[in-house]
Amino acid sequence: MATSAFAADLVEAPPPAAPTWTIGIEGSPEFYAINNGSNTARSLADTYFKLSVSHNFDNNFVGGIFIQPTFKTGGKSQYYAEASLGYKIKVTDALTLTPSLGLGYTWHDTGIIKDADANANVPYYALYIAGDWKVSKQWTWNVFNFRYRNAFNTTWETPKLATGLTYSIDSTNAVYASVGYSWKKTDTTSAPYNDLAGDKWNIAIGYKHSL
């Protein structure tokens, strides 16, 4: 009896389940990429904050939502809310690709439909593909994150390409930084945004906690 009890004590407990939920906060100033008539290149365009929640499913799908207030120079503000669903593709032990689809809504001082309603509230869709390279246990190179975004009921093409680094503090906490460049095309007939033109560049920092 004593021997059996001792053997049972030696059985290792199963490892804790990996976290499936992640909450995050990100902040960034955005700067104009080109001279566009009323604004000069490299001058501050706005500052945004993004609050996000995501969930990793057992079948490699990942879903998420975020809300983003953007405070523009001059006192105006614009808001975004978006939900997305993606799928993680393990290309190698180090490289992961994640395509995803997002559906969102932007409102307040949007400035999207310039000739009709500069403050139009606009639903939109977004297509993403991200590539992440696990360099070490703590460091991940977010090699690229590409977005194509457009409104459903008007022209509002806003592609963006970003790259960055993530540092895992431990198994549940991480910080990251990224740089990005975006383009824009709207339904206005005036240059430069009557065709795709450089819009903004930004430097973002963020924090993520998994549970």
pLDDT tens for each residue of 92-134 = 999 999 999 999 999 999 988 766 666 789 999 999 999 999 9
Size (the chain), residues: 211
The structure's pTM equals: 0.89
What is the distance between the alpha carbons of residues 54 and 61, in angstroms, rounded to a whole number? 11
- The domains of the chain are located at 18-210
Which of these, 44, 30, 69, 59, lies nearest to 160 by C-alpha position? 30
CATH topology of domain 18-210: Lipocalin (2.40.128)
Residue-wise pLDDT for 128-181, tens only, equals: 999 999 999 999 999 999 999 999 999 999 999 999 999 999 999 999 999 999
Half-sphere exposure of 210 (CA within 13 A, CB side): 14
The answer on pLDDT for 81 being more than 70 is yes
DSSP annotation string for 96-149: EEEEEEEEEEEEES---BTTTBTT--EEEEEEEEEEEEE-SSSEEEEEEEEEEE
| Dist. CA 37–CA 88, nearest whole Å | 42
φ, ψ at 82 (rounded to 5°): -150, 145
